[in-house]
């Protein structure tokens, strides 16, 4: 079996902080927080090692504590996500562990229905193991068709489950005439996280997403209008 070039084996919206994982960079990984946006550079540097460790190596639920001179907190690793395959750049759905995402994809394929029971595979080939079987009639959102291969990267109920052969699906009834097909893209490795920060007599607890873009971690800002949760 071919060894995947990139497999997401450990489990995120516009970017405001980046890092290639080099500690000491002036990167504020708490910038998605109302409280953390004003964190001084020295405190942000104290946070950086814990954040990078959590999103790169942390098991789901594993917590990494940190303490600076005037601020402290923790970062908790959450589920794997996949980015850069949706029309909305801030949308990064959860993805099943072990799914090979090293291909180039034709994005925005739309809604399909399975014509018979279908094996879901961890990669775009019968050489990859089957992770589950879906029943005939199941609705799937195809977020990417592998370029040059008859395999569809499929999402079911908001979660990317793996690859289904295109011969096992048809356009969902009522969507046959919908225009489909977006730009060709590669997937981005993303990770959900949870953070708590205490600074200046206040604390904040929030969840977010970080994606690896160009070899550097990018922390995404929350949707506009999301309330601050200071306590």
Q: What is the pLDDT along the chain (231 residues), one digit of tens a residue?
A: 443 444 433 333 334 455 444 344 568 999 989 899 889 999 999 999 999 999 999 999 999 999 999 999 999 999 999 999 998 888 899 999 999 999 999 998 999 999 999 999 999 999 999 999 999 999 999 999 999 999 999 999 999 999 999 999 999 887 655 656 679 999 999 999 999 999 999 999 999 999 998 888 889 766 655 555 666
Q: Looking at residue 214, what is its pLDDT?
A: 81
Supply 200's token pair: 């200046």
User: Residue 173 has what pLDDT?
Assistant: 80
- Domains of the chain, by residue range, sit at 15-82+188-220, 99-184
> Which single residue is written with the structure tokens 């961890």?
122
CATH fold of 99-184 reads SH3 type barrels. (2.30.30)
Calculate the alpha carbon distances from 53 to 18, 121, 168, 225 in Å.
Answer: 14, 30, 40, 30
Asked if residues 157 and 102 have their Cβ atoms less than 8 Å apart, the reply is no
Residue 38 and residue 44: Cα distance in Å, rounded? 10
C-alpha–C-alpha distance, residues 230 and 199, integer Å = 11
The pTM assigned to this predicted structure is: 0.80
Report the distance separating Cα 52 and Cα 126, nearest Å: 35
Q: What is the pLDDT of residue 182?
A: 78
Q: Could you tell me the CA-to-CA distances from 171 to 45, 137, 152, 176, 179 in Å, in that order?
A: 50, 11, 12, 6, 11
Place of tokens 């950086």: 48
Task: Give 108's contacts (C-beta < 8 A, 6+ positions apart).
Answer: 86, 87, 143, 180, 181, 182
- d(C-alpha 58, C-alpha 115), whole Å: 39
Contact 35, 199 (CB under 8 A): yes
Per-residue buried b or exposed e for 165-194, using 16+ beta carbons within 10 Å of the residue's own CB: bbebbebbeeeeeeeeebeebebbbbbbbb
Q: Is 102 exposed, middle or buried (0-12, 13-18, 19+ CB in 10 A)?
A: middle
Which DSSP helix (H) or strand (E) runs through 51?
Answer: helix 41-57
User: Which pLDDT belongs to residue 89?
Assistant: 82
């Amino acid at each position: 079996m071919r060894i995947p070039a990139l497999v997401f084996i450990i489990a995120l919206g516009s970017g405001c902080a980046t890092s290639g994982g080099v500690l000491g960079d002036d990167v504020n990984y708490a910038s998605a927080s109302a409280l953390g946006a004003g964190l001084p550079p020295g405190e942000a540097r104290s946070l950086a090692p814990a954040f990078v460790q959590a999103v790169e190596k942390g098991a789901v639920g594993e917590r990494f504590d940190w303490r600076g001179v005037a601020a402290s907190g923790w970062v908790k690793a959450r589920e794997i996500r996949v980015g850069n395959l949706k029309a909305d750049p801030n949308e990064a759905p959860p993805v099943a562990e072990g799914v090979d995402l090293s291909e180039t994809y034709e994005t925005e394929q739309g809604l399909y229905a399975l014509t018979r029971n279908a094996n879901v595979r961890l990669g775009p080939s019968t050489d990859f193991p089957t992770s589950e079987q879906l029943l005939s009639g199941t609705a799937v959102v195809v977020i990417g068709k592998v370029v040059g291969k008859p395999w569809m990267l499929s999402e079911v109920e908001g979660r990317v489950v793996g690859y289904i052969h295109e011969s096992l699906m048809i356009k969902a009834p009522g969507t046959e005439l919908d225009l489909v097909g977006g730009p060709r893209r590669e997937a981005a490795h993303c990770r959900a996280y949870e953070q708590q920060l205490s600074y200046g007599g206040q604390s904040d607890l929030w969840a977010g997403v970080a994606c690896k873009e160009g070899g550097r971690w990018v922390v995404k800002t929350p949707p506009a209008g999301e309330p601050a949760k200071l306590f």
